[in-house]
């Protein structure tokens, strides 16, 4: 198959591209604008592979997107390109509206034109897989049951509202035009090559620098964590077996509070890279909360488990240990990616966050 992946130089997209190139014989057309979050170094080992082509393109440019589909005639499109960081969406929502909504619209229109021109098995085979987030469902109280595919959308942040909008467009293109779409909503990912503005790599990097570790509010908010390679495997599984028009939750059912995550990271660092004078927990600082901060995400992936037979390979403990080891071995990667936009690397600081103790 010829698979077009958007956002394939980002955190999750690059994991997917690396798997598609090394574990299948598919051809990958990787479409990415290379914003601050995109990095060709994340394609280590596959960038110059004969079955990998990189196209530096902004999905907000409709003519360029249409041209790419005409040129490469993909059998499937997996759409990950997005602005993805909640704190950045609070500091500046415009780019989220453009890329996540307008960009998805451009891709849907180009995919529709491409698909309508196909015949026979090629038309049967074509899929548009849209990668989304559990954040579209809003948040949960501590005693609520996890989100299912039937939970109503109530997004809280500019990021999650823009992703919710894109999900609605994708479903509408299926219902109205018959475009064979698949939609996935995944919980928080962690693992190698994540830009160090998200919680896990940020804490690791700051701990190694001896900087304060910022915990928003009380640290009691909780997230449902999934190792990124498991997410990439789930996407491949759903592309192969999912039913067009259907959405699938992807989760490893690993709920942890933010404070538990930060303590788990400190414990790993104390073991693998001990500081001679103190335990890393000593660096933890509670800082003012994120505006509109979602209390809790938890995702029920029974549909994916039962209908499609997928299971994650990593537990939270095994994934976290791998992740910390990876960042310790790739400190040069972290320093290099931050070099591009050092002033913004902790976007929360952009709206005046200061430690309170």
Residues assigned a catalytic role: 134-135, 159
Can you tell me the distance from the alpha carbon of 52 to that of 101, in angstroms, rounded to the nearest whole number? 27
Closest to 296 (Cα-Cα) out of 356, 235, 221, 239: 221
CB of 73 to ligand NAD, least distance (A): 20
- Of 4 and 82, the one with the shorter C-beta distance to ligand TYD is 82
Closest to 204 (Cα-Cα) out of 85, 289, 325: 325
Specify burial of residue 317 (Cβ count, 10 A radius: 0-12, 13-18, 19+).
exposed
Biggest CA-to-CA distance, the chain? 68
- Of 30 and 166, the one with the shorter C-beta distance to ligand TYD is 166
- Print the binding letters for residues 20-39 with ligand NAD: x by CB under 6 A, - otherwise: ------------xxxx-xx-
Q: In the sheet where 2-6 sits, what is the strand order?
A: 52-56, 27-32, 2-6, 76-79, 127-133, 181-186, 247-250
Q: Which of residues 155-194 bind ligand TYD (CB under 6 A)?
A: 188
Residue 216 lies near ligand TYD (rule: CB under 6 A): yes
- Of 27 and 42, the one with the shorter C-beta distance to ligand NAD is 42
- Of 247 and 283, the one with the shorter C-beta distance to ligand NAD is 247
Which is it for strands 213-216 and 52-56: parallel, antiparallel or unpaired?
unpaired
> Across-strand partners of 216?
287
CB of 104 to ligand TYD, least distance (A): 18
Residue 296 lies near ligand TYD (rule: CB under 6 A): no
Q: Which residues of 4-17 are buried (b: 16+ CB within 10 A; e: fewer)?
A: bbbbbbbbbbbbbb
Taking each helix axis from N to C end, the angle separating 331-339 and 199-209, rounded to the nearest 10 degrees, works out to 100
CA dihedral sign of residues 266, 271, 272, 277? positive
18 interface partner picked from ligand TYD, ligand NAD, none, CB below 5 to 8 A per type: none
Q: Which of residues 175-234 bind ligand NAD (CB under 6 A)?
A: 186, 188-189, 195
CB of 188 to ligand TYD, least distance (A): 5
Q: Which position among 19, 27, 89, 133 is part of the footprint of ligand NAD (CB under 6 A)?
A: 133
Q: Which position among 21, 29, 77, 131 is part of the footprint of ligand NAD (CB under 6 A)?
A: 131
Q: Give the number of residues written for the chain.
A: 357
- Of 16 and 179, the one with the shorter C-beta distance to ligand NAD is 16
Q: Which of residues 73-112 bind ligand NAD (CB under 6 A)?
A: 80-84, 99, 103
214 interface partner picked from ligand TYD, ligand NAD, none, CB below 5 to 8 A per type: ligand TYD
Residues whose CB falls within 8 Å of the CB of residue 35, separated by 6 or more in sequence, listed in order: 83
- Print the binding letters for residues 60-89 with ligand TYD: x by CB under 6 A, - otherwise: --------------------------x---
Report the run of H or E that residue 128 belongs to, with start and end.
Answer: strand 127-133
From the list 40-48, 164-172, 215-223, 274-282, the region that binds ligand TYD by CB under 6 A is 215-223
CA distances from 245 to 103, 132, 178, 308 (A): 20, 14, 9, 15
Provide the 10 A C-beta neighbour count for residue 222. 22
Can you tell me the distance from the alpha carbon of 278 to that of 159, in angstroms, rounded to the nearest whole number? 37
Can you tell me the distance from the alpha carbon of 260 to that of 212, in angstroms, rounded to the nearest whole number? 17
- Could you tell me how many residues of this chain bind ligand NAD (CB under 6 A)? 31
110 interface partner picked from ligand NAD, ligand TYD, none, CB below 5 to 8 A per type: none
Q: Which of residues 316-355 bind ligand NAD (CB under 6 A)?
A: none
215 interface partner picked from ligand TYD, ligand NAD, none, CB below 5 to 8 A per type: ligand TYD
Residue 9 lies near ligand NAD (rule: CB under 6 A): yes
Residues that bind ligand TYD (CB under 6 A): 86, 188, 198-199, 202, 214-216, 221, 223, 258, 290, 348
Residues that bind ligand NAD (CB under 6 A): 6-7, 9-13, 32-35, 37-38, 58-60, 80-84, 99, 103, 131-133, 163, 186, 188-189, 195
């Amino acid at each position: 198959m010829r698979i077009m992946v958007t956002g394939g130089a980002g955190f999750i997209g690059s994991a997917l591209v690396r798997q598609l190139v090394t574990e299948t014989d598919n051809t990958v057309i990787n479409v990415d604008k290379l914003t601050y979050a995109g990095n060709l170094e994340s394609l280590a080992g596959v960038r110059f592979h004969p079955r990998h082509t990189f196209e530096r393109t902004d999905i907000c440019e409709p003519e360029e997107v249409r041209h790419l589909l005409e040129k490469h005639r993909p059998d499937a499109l997996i759409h990950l390109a997005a602005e993805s960081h909640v704190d950045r969406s609070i500091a500046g929502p415009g780019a989220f509206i453009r890329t996540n909504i307008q960009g998805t619209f451009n891709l849907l229109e180009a995919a529709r034109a491409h698909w309508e021109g196909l015949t026979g098995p090629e038309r049967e085979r074509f899929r548009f897989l849209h990668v989304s987030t559990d954040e579209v469902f809003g948040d949960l109280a501590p005693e609520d049951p996890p989100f299912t595919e039937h939970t109503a959308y109530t997004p809280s942040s500019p990021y999650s509202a823009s992703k919710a909008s894109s999900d609605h467009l994708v479903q509408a293109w299926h219902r109205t035009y018959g475009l064979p779409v698949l939609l996935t909503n995944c919980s928080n990912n962690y693992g190698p090559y994540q830009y160090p503005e998200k919680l896990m790599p940020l804490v690791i990097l700051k701990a190694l620098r001896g900087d304060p570790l910022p915990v928003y509010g009380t640290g009691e908010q909780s997230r449902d964590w999934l190792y990124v390679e498991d997410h990439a495997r789930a996407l491949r599984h759903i592309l192969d077996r999912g039913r067009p028009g259907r959405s699938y939750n992807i989760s490893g059912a690993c709920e942890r509070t933010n404070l538990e995550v930060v303590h788990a990271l400190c414990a790993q660092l104390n073991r693998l890279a001990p500081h001679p004078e103190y335990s890393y927990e000593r660096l933890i600082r509670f800082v003012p909360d994120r505006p509109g901060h979602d209390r809790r995400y938890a995702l029920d992936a029974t549909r994916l488990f039962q209908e499609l037979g997928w299971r994650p390979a990593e537990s939270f403990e095994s994934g976290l240990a791998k992740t910390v080891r990876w960042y310790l071995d790739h400190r040069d990667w972290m320093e290099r990616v931050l070099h591009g936009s050092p002033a913004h690397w902790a976007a929360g600081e952009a709206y005046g966050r200061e430690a309170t103790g």
